[in-house]
Every structure is written in C-alpha cells, then in structure tokens.
Amino acid sequence: MTLVIDDKDVAQLLSMADCIDALEEAFREMGLGNVVNAPRRDSFMLSSHPEGYYSFKTIEGGLEKYGVVAQRINSDLITHPIINGVPRRVKIPAAPGQRYVGLVFLYSAETLELLAIMSDGHLQRMRVAGTTGLGVKHLSRKDSQQVALMGSGWQAETAAWAITEVRDIEKIQVYSPNKEHREKFCKKLSKKLNAEIISCDEPKKTLIDADIIATATNSQSPVVRGEWIEEGMHLTSIRRVEFDERAWEKSDIIYFSSPPAPHGYTYYVSENWKRSGFKSDMGDWALLEEESFKKYRDKIYLLSDLLTGKSPRRSSDEQITMLNKNWGLGIEFACVARVVYERACEAGIGKEIPSEWFTQTSHP
C-alpha cells in the first residue's frame, strides 16, 4: 500500500530531534559517497497573474543505506513585492481555497514502489531548520546561551526550535521590520521554548551579547552587517545574501550544506520571461554565492566533510564560524521523509491507497 500523509500528520510524526538525527546521518553518508543528489531544477513560465510568474521546482535524492529515493516538487506562483523598502520573494497561495502545492514522493529502491506521498510544508521547514541545528551543534561554542534571530516567519520559528534542541539557550532576541508581527511571533515562541524571548526594534540590538546569529528571512539584501559581528560568534543563514560581505570576510571557517550555484541548481525559462517580471533564485545573490565560494575557497568546506572528519572544526572560542544553508538537497527530503513514513506505519497514521495504482504491467 501507498501512504498519503498530510501536513498535520507530518507535524505530529516528526520531532526536531529525529529530524536533526536523520539529517546528520544523511550528510555523513553523503561524505562517504553513499548517496545520490540531482541538482534542483526550476522551470518558469509566464502567468496570467499580473504581478507574478509560474514556477515548477523539483529536487531529488536517494540513500543507499536505507534503499529510498525521494522527489520533492512545488507548483508555485512567485511574486517579488517591495516590503519596507526591501525586495522580498513571496509565494501566492493560488490553488483552490487559497492553498499551496508542495509534495514529497518517497520510493523504495528495492521494490521500486511508491511508498508514500506527503505534503511538503512542515517537512520542508523542518529539514531547513534541522540543517541549521546541525551546524550549530558542530560549529558553535558549546557554552552558547544567547541567540540573535533575524526573521519572524514560519522558517524563523523552526530555526529557534532547532537551535534550542542542540544548545542550552537562555535568551533569544528577535528582529523583523513588522513590529506587530514580530511581537506576536515572540509571544508564540515563548509558549513553546524554555527560553526568554525578546522583541527588538532594531536589528543591531538583537546581536548584543549574542553567541549565535541566525537569519531566516525572505529578504533579497543583507540583514546583518559584519561590523556588528564579534569574536566567538556562530553565523547561520539560509541565503548567502542575508550576511553582508564584511561578515563573510570576518568568518574564520565557512560551511555550505550543498555545492554553490550553478552546481546545485539549474533553471529553464520560456521565451516570455522578459514580460513576466522574472527573478529566478539563480539571481544576483545566487551568483554572489558562487563568487563567494571561489573568493573564500581557502576557508569554505561542505557540511558532509565536517561530519566525516575531512575538514576542520572550530578550534578556539575566539573563532567566527558560519553555515550557509544554501540549496536544498534531495537527501534531506529522503532521510526525513523516511522517518515520517516509518513513524506513520508504526502509528497507523495516513490514508492507504493501492500501490498498484502507481505501477503497470506494460514496459515503460
């Protein structure tokens, strides 16, 4: 049977501790050469929406150790509004009922069958935050107690969960430009975490006495300046652009969770791209990411090499370390989806549908 698992069930089945453990094992297997990852692929077309364009995204990867392969897909409407003077990348819930479309398909490499179809919303933000937590676990000072969190959205929330999972955090100071949204976020986070959550009205204030700086925004420009960064800090970002050039220069060791563009990303556009307001993820900030990889190559390593002992760890409390989350990898979805699937089978959660619906007797 094939299991269909919705977002609510994924949230019930997947703990942050299990997510981080699964990712750690997957990245270690990557360092040992026992996985396969296909580059992320985005296809863009003109949309009837006056301010956006259509995007179809796929990410695939497999783990030999567990004999599973996963494919994550998104069918999106993308816009780039200016919010508080800063360009943002915003997806519009254009599916019926104001909903988004994101799915993860988990396959068996042994029986070939489709094991599960699951919504990607909660799983997506957990695997991103889990990688953030993995970097904090191995690169931040063990006595880290205070976090500066830039962002107050759904990805910032799970970043806070992940960091508090691997470090005994006492205080998290939060900044985002929307005061009302930020303060609601802080109240919500206070109920979920055993840490003091403080709303800050200026980005620089969040960094006072911080041991870890975590960015989880949809900003297309830097939100943290290198001049604010002090010795001993650990920096973690989802996108390269969230830290300015000075922050990159000051970092002593830099880790990428995946290869930089264009090695981890390809995209395709229709001939109407000039009329669509098209701004691919392979935009200026992604090209800067590749340039940074070349510019700082003497101090940049891959997370998979860290977990297999092929690259250096933090060697002193004074060092500044950085993790750039970078492009998503198929193995991230494969390892986490496997955990969700196994938990669902154990708990009897999910809707069963015949696997025969997804197989055939005719030669493909």
- Same structural domain for residues 60 and 173? no
Contacts (Cβ under 8 Å, ≥6 apart) of 130: 16, 19, 20, 22, 23, 162, 332, 336
pLDDT, tens digit, for every residue of 10-21? 999 999 999 999
Quick one: 319 and 336 in the same domain?
no
364 belongs to a structural domain: no
107 and 143 share one domain: no
Lowest mean pLDDT of 113-117, 254-258, 270-274, name the range. Answer: 270-274
CATH number of residue 251's parent domain: 3.40.50.720
Domain boundaries, position 37: 2-124+330-358
Percent residues over pLDDT 70 in the chain:
95
Chain segment 277-317, per-residue pLDDT in tens: 776 655 555 556 667 667 788 899 999 999 999 999 999 99
Give the model's pLDDT for residue 285. Answer: 52
What is the residue-averaged pLDDT of the chain? 92
Confidence tier at 4 by pLDDT (50, 70, 90): very high
Are 352 and 253 contained in the same domain?
no
Residue 80: pLDDT band with limits 50, 70, 90: confident
- In sequence order, the 6+-apart residues with CB closer than 8 A to the CB of 60 are 37, 38, 69, 70, 71, 72, 330
Instruction: Determine the residue type at 145.
Output: Q
- The answer to whether 255 and 135 are in contact (CB under 8 A) is yes
Q: What is the pLDDT of residue 343?
A: 97
250, 346: one domain: no
Residue 73: pLDDT over 70: yes
pTM: 0.92
Confidence band of 142 (pLDDT split at 50, 70, 90) = very high
Residues 182 and 240 in one domain: yes
Same domain (yes/no): 205, 312 = yes
- pLDDT(263) > 70: no
Which residues are CB-neighbours of 290 under 8 A, at least 6 positions away? 260, 261, 262
